[in-house]
Amino acid sequence: MTTTTPIARPVPPQVVRDLLTLDDAGRPAAAVTDDEGGAPLRCCLRHSRPGERVALVSYAPLRRWAAETGADPGAYDEQGPVFVHADACAGPEGGDLPFTRARRVLRRYSADGRILGGRLVAEPEEFGPALGEAFADPEVALVHVRAVEYGCFLYEIRRG
C-alpha cells in the first residue's frame, strides 16, 4: 500500500465550466444567489457564504473518472446533484479533508470501476481510520465521500 496523505479532489475547474453550460443530465445550469449560505460546494470543497452565486447541477463523478482511466463502471455509473460556484472559483482554501464533521459514507471502487464496499462513518474521529482501512485494501483505487442524508457525492480521494 502506498502511504500518502489523502487529498480530496474537487470537481476540476474545466469540468465546472462544462457543467455550467450543460450538466451530466443534459440540462443547462440555473444560477441563483445563495442568500443563506451553507451549500456544500464541490468546486472548492467548502460551504457557500451568504450572497454567493451557486448552481445545482447533475454530475457523474464515476463516469468522468472512468473516461480518464479507461474503466467501465457499468451499472455503477450514476449521476446526482452537486453545488458549484456559478462564477469563477478560486478552488480549495486549505489542505484538510473537508466535510468530515457529519455522518458520511465512504464508497470504495476498484480500478475497473466496480464497487468494492462502503462504510458509514458515524463520528468525525472515525473518518481518518475508515479512509486508511479503505486504502489498506490493494484493490481500492478510488473512494467517494458521500453525504448520508441525501447520498450526494461530496468528493473523491484517489490512491496516491
Residues 133 and 102 sit within 8 Å (Cβ to Cβ): no
Grid coordinates of 85: 460556484
Residue 138 counted as domain residue: yes
Instruction: Report pLDDT digits (tens) over 121-136.
Output: 999 999 999 999 999 9
Q: Are residues 23 and 63 in the same domain?
A: yes
Q: Distance between CA 147 and CA 116 in Å, rounded? A: 18
> Does one domain contain both 66 and 118?
no
List pLDDT tens digits, range 20-74.
999 999 999 999 999 999 999 999 999 999 999 999 999 999 999 999 999 999 9
**Total domains in the fold of the chain:** 2
Domain assignment present for 111: yes
CA distances from 34 to 15, 22, 25 (A): 21, 21, 23
Can you give the residue range of the structural domain that contains 138?
Answer: 104-158
